[in-house]
Amino acid sequence: MAEIQFSRGIKEEVVPDIRVTRSRNGDGGTATFYFDAPQALDDDSSVEITGMYLVDNEGEIITRDVKGKFINGKPSAIEAKLLMNSAAEWERFIRFMNKYAEENGLGLTKS
């Protein structure tokens, strides 16, 4: 089980575009998640977005760097950034992403 949540306990069904960069020294990196038309922004959703939670059987990874994108005053997308400042955080993120990718049919494209 690996899922992304914007409010604890409520799984986001939209699979994001994820861009990952590694720091020059290799100890950490940054992951940018872009959700186009996520369920959390649906008109009938009463969910309060409190952060982005990456949840799996090891626990959760949390970021509060979550921003809404608006078109003509209506919410259309969510962008979230996760900073990893150590090799341990990086490895934990990679373990989560491997599980999430396997469950959602994602692949890796190197630039």
Domain 2-104 falls under CATH 3.20.20.150:
no
Please tell me the distance from the alpha carbon of residue 11 to that of residue 18, in angstroms, as a whole number: 17
Please tell me the distance from the alpha carbon of residue 32 to that of residue 48, in angstroms, as a whole number: 21
What's the whole-number mean pLDDT along residues 88-98? 95
pLDDT in tens, 57-77: 999 999 999 999 999 988 899
Please tell me the distance from the alpha carbon of residue 89 to that of residue 86, in angstroms, as a whole number: 5
**Domain regions of the chain by residue span:** 2-104
Higher pLDDT: 48 or 109? It is 48
